[in-house]
Structure 1
């Protein structure tokens, strides 16, 4: 008699674990609880934003007073930079091109670039900077600005900056220069930048990213020119915003609003410098994620040139055109980066030329306070004994042929 396998009492089942009908009810309840938590989080976030807005409006006047006070305390002195013995104004666009590229490569915040340039100019207002150390000071300023206000994972390392400088400086030189910049500025880094004032002006109306990118492009063009070095960031932000809205055919704010109190003279000066901007800056703002601001400016200038040609007076005789045209082009369409006069400026303290540290002074903490017969109010940039001939030859070749005159 063959053995017959008994049939299962509850029917055929592929698993020992059978889902009951009650589990569906539990899943529905868990989903409802999760939905309620998400709604509660959204309500809390909206309540927090509303409280932040109310608090910001309450303290906005105090914040603006403090920002305006700090911008007056952290402005560079153009006259002090003008009497530098080695660095010239035509060298500035080269260094700024390098800083713009480094800033874009590390994807830093816009305010980091403006703060780095401010730290650079303030340092040059107080110290004699050798030509071979100019790029090193710029790297130290960018490093300090990134540590101060940018994201931690995007702060450049000394090794990365050294690689971008083609290993002209040792690791220790970056650290020493960073410390020396901070000591020179008395550790006062909190400079309200153009971007900070721009965000306040943009908060008065609906957000327009194209206007913001255009304003930043105009403000970064101003970094390359001497006449805007000592301009207050609040004035520069409002003037650049007014010019950006004019280019994009946006409505200007009312004169009673904070953003509407711009300086017409600064707007005219900014408009004169839209021609022939830095190629590095133009490529940066030609990208789509920055609203192709540089391309829009080029098209605007072409339209303005066509309008000017249509409204031009009857043609002048060829002889007069040949004499008058170069002067017009030089005044309106030139890059207009100024070249300082040799010892033409006088500092506010009455010192004609800043003292120069001897060439043999050691670059380090121990010799920064080395006594020598110069006034202590204007000490010089520290020096380093290694690779001096190579660095001097590099900067000589880099800055021998100016392109931004």
Structure 2
């Protein structure tokens, strides 16, 4: 995606403050109050009786503080969520444009071998910024490249220089434009960048339920990245996205969602099924294989996770059996 240079005088990254619109229900799953309380009661019951002896004797798990840490992260994840319906306030942008931007940023992220958290922080910056400001279509790529530039500063040990990001836009924007955009975005977000906790923070904990199974973990990484291009997941907390990814991976690989997974994730199967359906629907789309996301995870390095998941999803949607228990080829590592 390349934006041609404008001959007119340089514009601001943003034009006007987006009008305040009534907020859509922010967080799902959409369960009836009584059903939601039943799910929470089951989680609480499991947490009261479930014991993890290994965690108690593993100093790296800091079991003495784990509960307080994740309680604090739970508070942060709601505070750092964007408006789920922010596109209604954008006069020139569409959800399809966001998909194109995210898929392009994934290529930039892959090109410089950046950490997974860098991509997630960048997308969160974009969504929260667009929740607050109206952006013209010609400046959307500038917002995207500036967001990943900011995220890289927070996460990477050796972050790419601003000149390298200019190169990735094929010089569609100048160094000064990116630096100016950085100031505007940081001020708009009140410099609250590191407060965001990506799904990876929760996935690492949930993975303990199956002793960090390689196939499940690799597949779930792909599945949670699928949520980045589905605007319906803007209503989902990071912890829920991580749980949905793990649940979907377990389902595709023929596993179950036992008490151990409920304990570490904090979600029951009823709370995750809707998100699982969303992911399956997205991967079953005919054009999904054209995305850079699909091509990234079709690599042997990732056990060809996208190839397997898309095949499973399309067979599932078509009602064709015989794919549910197909395992990824571990020899492809």
TM score, norm. by length of structure 1: 0.60
CA distance in 2, matches of 1:128, 1:158: 24
Structure number, greater radius of gyration = 1
Cα 1:242–1:50 change in 2 (3 A) is closer
| Number of residues of Structure 1 aligned to a counterpart in Structure 2 | 258
Within 5 Å, give how 1:362-377 maps onto structure 2.
Answer: none
Instruction: List per-residue Cα deviations over 1:59-117 (Å, max 9, x = no partner).
Output: 11111111110011000002333211111212112111110100101111112111110
Counterpart in the other structure of 2:212? 207
Secondary structure at the counterpart of residue 85 of structure 2: helix
CA distance in 2, matches of 1:179, 1:208: 42
Instruction: List per-residue Cα deviations over 1:272-298 (Å, max 9, x = no partner).
Output: 212132521111001111111011113
Q: CA RMSD in A?
A: 2.0
Within 5 Å, give how 1:162-173 maps onto structure 2.
Answer: 162-173=166-177
Which has the larger displacement, 298-307 or 84-93? 298-307
Aligned match for 2:223, one of 218, 222, 228: 218
Counterpart in the other structure of 2:281? 272
Secondary structure at the counterpart of residue 274 of structure 2: helix
CA distance in 1, matches of 2:237, 2:313: 27
CA distance in 2, matches of 1:191, 1:258: 20
Give the deviation of 1:247 after TM superposition. 0.8
CA distance in 2, matches of 1:217, 1:309: 23
CA distance in 2, matches of 1:61, 1:195: 17
Pair 1:243 & 2:251 matched: no
Counterpart in the other structure of 2:138? 132
CA distance in 2, matches of 1:169, 1:200: 40
Counterpart in the other structure of 1:227? 232
CA distance in 1, matches of 2:98, 2:318: 33
CA distance in 1, matches of 2:128, 2:250: 31
Counterpart in the other structure of 1:197? 202
Counterpart in the other structure of 2:113? 107
Give the deviation of 1:213 after TM superposition. 1.8
Secondary structure at the counterpart of residue 254 of structure 2: coil
Unaligned stretches of 5+ in structure 2?
1-56, 323-333
The structure that is helix-richer by fraction is 2
CA distance in 2, matches of 1:242, 1:129: 36
Pair 1:86 & 2:92 matched: yes
Aligned match for 1:72, one of 71, 78, 83: 78
Give the deviation of 1:249 after TM superposition. 1.8
Pair 1:98 & 2:107 matched: no
Counterpart in the other structure of 1:183? 187
Secondary structure at the counterpart of residue 167 of structure 1: coil
CA distance in 1, matches of 2:277, 2:317: 16
Give the deviation of 1:309 after TM superposition. 7.9
CA distance in 1, matches of 2:70, 2:306: 31
Secondary structure at the counterpart of residue 258 of structure 1: helix
TM score, norm. by length of structure 2: 0.73
CA distance in 1, matches of 2:183, 2:109: 21
